[in-house]
């Protein structure tokens, strides 16, 4: 890592570099220097992102675009250059590394702690989409093709099931049935995207609460981070993935499923913040927001279960059945959303009218 750090222009001499955060994909480190400067050093996961250079082009363009609209410099992530003037470095194995300014005086939450936190995350993601409304979406690289193409996720699930390389399918029959029973409805958003009924937007596509920074004092939205999956997408993806994670009453890997529900209060709070910040959605886009919540949750569960069947090759795990536990919480949430469906659609309709 020393060889990587040396490539970047730093303020001061490095004094420590420790693993940081709870991401499932990249390797993230907090780098400190003797002048008390803090940086976030990240190595991109090359297995997940086949075109890291294209990905960095996206991140460079999007952060510059947002920086031009920012009132506080912390509203846009800032990449630090190498001595050669590039905005990323490579190590001896060809891995791509980047160095962000640490967003100072900020907090990043794994779950909402105060009533306004989830609202502020909705403002952050809604503002992000709004600020990028005039960004030329066609110039972005598709960093993970078919990322939120749910039918494609089903195809990969079926392939993993067929191969069953770890011999795990036998023990997860109820989960497999849960997934297959919902296959018919899983393509609804994809169909509306392909037919052009829903407009393509620049979306973040990984709108977990822990991809938002809030100001540590005011707890107001500062910026969204983890821009690796910024690609053309649907508004319902960003709304839906936020609900999946932040309106859940338990952690994504909770083992006690009785704790896991989708909070209608949190759902309503997020919807209010998102519709306030993300103006200009079409009527059909607003109507499909609840569907986004359900399908992003189902899709994420399918991805966790697929990874479990494939031997935990994609998401970082910290215990043997971690991906299975994660899949189960997602399916519990989907069931709860199915029960609360009428309320979910009514909330979006009511808040849309009030705007
Ligand atoms: P992953 O793709 O693995 O989720 P992230 O980019 O989300 O990686 O980073 C992981 C964690 O590191 C975040 O949840 C956040 O806590 C922290 N983090 C990332 N970038 C910054 C930053 N610029 N300033 C402060 N903290 C950050
Ligand atoms: C991953 O990188 P991170 O931890 O923010 C994943 C998301 C999943 C999420 C589930 C590039 O997000 O798609 O929804 O885990 N990111 C990628 O927690 O696959
Ligand atoms: Mg993240």
Q: What is the pLDDT of residues 165-177, one digit of tens each?
A: 999 999 999 999 9
> How far is residue 330's CA from residue 174's CA, in Å, rounded to a whole number?
14
| Ligand 1 atom 17, closest CA | 21
Contact, 161 vs 309, CB < 8 A?
A: yes
The whole-number pLDDT of residue 1 equals 85
* Atom number of ligand 1 nearest to Cα 102: 24
The whole-number pLDDT of residue 355 equals 74
- pLDDT one-digit tens code per residue, 13-32: 999 999 999 888 999 999 99
The residue to mutate among 21, 147, 224, having the most atoms of ligand 1 within 8 angstroms of its beta carbon, is 21
Whose atoms come closest to the Cα of 225: which ligand?
1
The whole-number pLDDT of residue 350 equals 97
- List the structure tokens of 16: 């420590």
Superfamily of domain 115-354 in CATH is Aminoglycoside phosphotransferase (APH), C-terminal lobe (3.90.1200.10)
Task: Calculate how far, in angstroms, residue 296's C-alpha sits from the geometric centre of ligand 1.
Answer: 21
H or E element in which residue 266 lies: helix 264-277
- Please, what's the largest Cα pairwise distance for the chain? 58
Task: Calculate how far, in angstroms, residue 210's C-alpha sits from the geometric centre of ligand 3.
Answer: 6
The whole-number pLDDT of residue 201 equals 95
The whole-number pLDDT of residue 348 equals 98
Ion ligand 3 residues within 5 Å by Cβ:
23, 211, 226
> How far is residue 39's CA from residue 51's CA, in Å, rounded to a whole number?
24
Question: In the chain, helix, strand, coil percent, each to 5?
Answer: 50, 15, 35
Q: Where are the domains of the chain?
A: 2-104, 115-354
Task: Calculate how far, in angstroms, residue 25's C-alpha sits from the geometric centre of ligand 2.
Answer: 7
The whole-number pLDDT of residue 22 equals 85
* Atom number of ligand 1 nearest to Cα 24: 3
Contacts of 218 (CB under 8 A, 6+ apart): none
* Atom number of ligand 1 nearest to Cα 228: 2
The whole-number pLDDT of residue 107 equals 97
Average pLDDT over the chain, rounded to an integer:
96
Assigned CATH for 2-104: 3.30.200.20
* Spans in the chain with pLDDT lower than 50: none
> How far is residue 225's CA from residue 138's CA, in Å, rounded to a whole number?
21
Q: What is the DSSP string of 163-230?
A: H-TTS-GGGGHHHHHHHHHTTGGGGHHHHHHHTTSS--EEE-S---GGGEEEETTT--EEEE--GGG-
Contact, 221 vs 214, CB < 8 A?
A: yes
The whole-number pLDDT of residue 23 equals 84
The residue to mutate among 63, 108, 317, having the most atoms of ligand 1 within 8 angstroms of its beta carbon, is 108
Task: Calculate how far, in angstroms, residue 265's C-alpha sits from the geometric centre of ligand 1.
Answer: 27
């Amino acid at each position: 890592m020393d060889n990587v750090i040396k490539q970047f222009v730093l303020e001061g001499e490095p004094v420590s570099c420790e693993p940081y955060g709870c991401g499932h994909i990249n390797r993230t480190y907090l780098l400190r220097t003797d002048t008390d400067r803090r940086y976030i050093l990240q190595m991109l996961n090359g297995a997940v992102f086949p075109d890291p250079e294209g990905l960095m082009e996206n991140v460079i363009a999007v952060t510059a675009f947002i920086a031009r609209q920012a009132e506080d410099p912390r509203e846009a992530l800032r990449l630090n250059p190498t001595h050669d003037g590039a905005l990323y470095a490579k190590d001896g194995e060809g891995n791509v590394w980047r160095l962000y300014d640490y967003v100072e005086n900020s907090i990043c939450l794994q779950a909402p702690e105060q009533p306004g936190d989830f609202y502020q995350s909705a403002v952050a993601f809604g503002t992000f989409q709004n600020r990028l409304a005039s960004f030329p979406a066609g110039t972005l690289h598709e960093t993970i093709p078919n990322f939120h193409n749910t039918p494609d996720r089903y195809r990969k699930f079926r392939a993993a099931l067929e191969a069953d390389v770890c011999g795990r399918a036998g023990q997860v029959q109820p989960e497999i049935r849960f997934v297959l029973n919902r296959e018919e409805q899983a393509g609804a958003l994809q169909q509306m995207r392909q037919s052009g009924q829903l407009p393509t937007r620049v979306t973040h596509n990984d709108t977990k609460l822990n991809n938002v920074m809030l100001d540590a004092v005011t707890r107001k939205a500062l910026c969204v981070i983890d821009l690796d999956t910024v690609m053309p997408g649907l508004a319902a993806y960003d709304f839906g993935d936020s609900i999946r994670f932040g309106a859940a009453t338990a952690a994504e890997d909770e083992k006690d499923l009785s704790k896991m529900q989708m909070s209608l209060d949190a759902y309503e709070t997020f919807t209010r913040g998102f519709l306030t910040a993300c103006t200009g959605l079409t009527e059909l886009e607003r109507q499909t927001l609840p569907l986004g919540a359900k399908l992003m949750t189902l899709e994420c569960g399918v991805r966790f279960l697929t990874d479990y069947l494939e031997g935990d090759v994609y998401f970082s795990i910290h215990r043997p059945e971690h991906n299975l536990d994660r899949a189960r919480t997602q399916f519990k949430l989907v069931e709860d959303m199915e029960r609360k469906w009428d309320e979910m659609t009514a909330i979006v309709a009511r808040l849309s009218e009030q705007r």
